[in-house]
A and B are shown apart, each in its own frame.
Chain A
Amino acid sequence: MAERRFTKDHEWIELNGAIATVGITNYAQEQLGDVVFVDLPPAGKKITKGGEAAVVESVKAASEVYSPVTGEVVESNADLAKNPALANTAAEAGGWFVKIKVADPKELSALMDAAAYKKFVDGLH
């Protein structure tokens, strides 16, 4: 199984071949509270590392989801669009946001692994 990487903005990314799946972390969904809406990019949209990939909204907050890598959107999660609660109940599984065709897989290696991310999150309290 491919390894997961994490960003300081609380996105996770998992690379399978040339395609990466991106979502928000469990910690992020807890901070947001009940997710009520997600705005996902259309397939074919080019996105850059650190650029806005999607928007996730709770009742009282709206946050950008930044792309951890540069590439092109190949798919958005239609189930999530229909049922935004998936971002709460299955943030790091069925609640993924987008699949991206990655331009440079090496970009991932700069990101945190699970252990480093856990340490990062623990440090936020």
Chain B
Amino acid sequence: MKTDTFSGNRGLDLEEPLLFELGRPGVTGVDMPDAPKVASKLGGLEREGSIGLAGVSEPEVIRHFVRMSRNNYSIDANLYPLGSCTMKHNPRLNEKMARLPGFGDVHPLQPESTVQGALELIHVLGHWLKTITGMPAVAMPPAAGAHGELCGMMAIRAAHDAKGDKHRTRVLIPESAHGTNPATAAQCGFSVDPIPGNSHGRVDLAAVKAKLGPDVAGIMLTNPNTLGLFENEVIEVANAIHSVGGYFYADGANFNAIVGKAKPGDMGVDAIHINLHKTFSTPHGGGGPGSGPVCFSQALAPYAPLPMIVERQGRFHLIEHRGSAGEPGEKSFGRMRTFNGQMGMFVRALSYMMSHGADGLRQVAEDAVLSANYIMASCKDDMTSPFPGPCMHEALFDDRFLEGTGVTTLDFAKAMIDEGYHPMTVYFPLVVHGAMLTEPTETESKESVDRFIHVLKSLAKKAKSGDAQFFKDAPRYAPRRRVDETAAARNPVLRWTPPAPKAQAAE
């Protein structure tokens, strides 16, 4: 092991063992009184043996997690250009609002009379989402985008089944789609029929039409798409799919580009999920939680999941079971999670929406798209783009500019780390060779974007100058050099286990 200090630390960069390696018996970070003596009702099922958890005090826990945190990149520290992820500023007001006891400390099964404000908040957020998308209905339960896809596709399946259309088993999905689209379709029992793109990076309308048939359940189309482009023939696609009785599912992961500028409801969309953790700035938290409400057309609205909220004479009610005929929820496809929805995310998202308002949200889309196009235009002499602009809120580069340099997209990404930047999304979408999907978002200043562009251009020039090794050795200045993913996968170590007691020294 290479360390250049005695401690393994490097200045402010402190090495931290696993918590389990720090623990000692008899130490704890929480003080509690002794439990009163009672006659046990555990029925002889007491846990035997040690659980294995570590014992550490509060100061050790604080240091442990603070030290670990310092090894992370974050949007609070710098521009985070992950395309398709919309890493924008996370306002702290939203955190404060979500922690109000009236939202954060409310049990999901409290009597309705005690949670009118919570139901109202969800209802109001739903109103904003319906207005922004131009869609008549919304389902709030989904926990993330993929869960929203499941919600939308289940509604589509339920709608077909209700008409006795059991033979509709095929779903059209562009090759450029995010992996959750085909995975979701498969989870709903559909087969996936891939649609190629055209030379402009859009779905090939002729190919869509050629694939239509009575067994088509619908199409899943991301718009703006994963190449950072708007599907300009979206209405023709919608008409085509409707002409054979199919439904149009839109993946709204890239909604940030068009919020306040265009409405999916006017594009023939039947269902669209909105990632509140992207467009509406709820923090990503190292991979979640998210929230993925789904807006529905009139045709699919009756099949929305439980629970749902209805307002009657100023009171809010939670519909938790399938209703009888004519009641809300009658045709619902069912419950897709234990409780109501991602309330903590709802509060944050509404706080963000209210802060921006109708005028601000429109500006969000304009600035996000402006910044992405600015990056694309500024880098055009040094990097290559597979499709001409204008783009939406993501600038897509391919690896043609690296051809013959010996530098790969991955190497380029790792060199960005040394320059103080998290890389853009790399190797996605799969249909573009060596893809680099770059999303600056609207919350970067021009000065910040200029510095980023300077780094991209400088690295591109350096790659072409022939110093491939410089890239292969990157990163040098990160908390870790390149991590061996092959070793991790060949011999999976997925948890800490106590070291075997040391063997006696060999005779």
Contact = CB atoms under 8 A, between A and B. Distances in A.
A58 B485 CA distance: 10
A85 B486 CA distance: 10
Interface string B423-448: 00001000000000000000000000
A36 interface: yes
Most buried by B among A58, A59, A84: A59
Interface residues of A, number: 9
Contacts of B486: 34, 36, 58-59
A115 B506 CA distance: 57
Contacts of B489: 36-37, 57, 59
Contacts of A34: 486, 490
Interface of B is mostly: helix
Contacts, number: 15
A80 B485 CA distance: 19
A59 B484 CA distance: 10
Nearest to B427: A60
B365 to A, nearest CB: 33
Contacts of A59: 485-486, 489
A48 to B, nearest CB: 20
A85 to B, nearest CB: 7
B19 to A, nearest CB: 28
Interface in A29-71: 34, 36-37, 57-60
B423 to A, nearest CB: 15
Contacts of B427: 60
A37 to B, nearest CB: 7
A37 B486 CA distance: 10
A37 B490 CA distance: 7
A34 B490 CA distance: 9
Interface string A88-116: 00000000000000000000000000000
Interface in B458-507: 485-486, 489-490
A84 B490 CA distance: 8
A37 B488 CA distance: 11
Interface in B312-326: none
Interface in B389-439: 427
A59 B483 CA distance: 12
Contacts of B485: 59
B486 to A, nearest CB: 4
Interface of B: 427, 485-486, 489-490
15 contacts: A34-B486, A34-B490, A36-B486, A36-B489, A36-B490, A37-B489, A37-B490, A57-B489, A58-B486, A59-B485, A59-B486, A59-B489, A60-B427, A84-B490, A85-B490
Interface of A: 34, 36-37, 57-60, 84-85
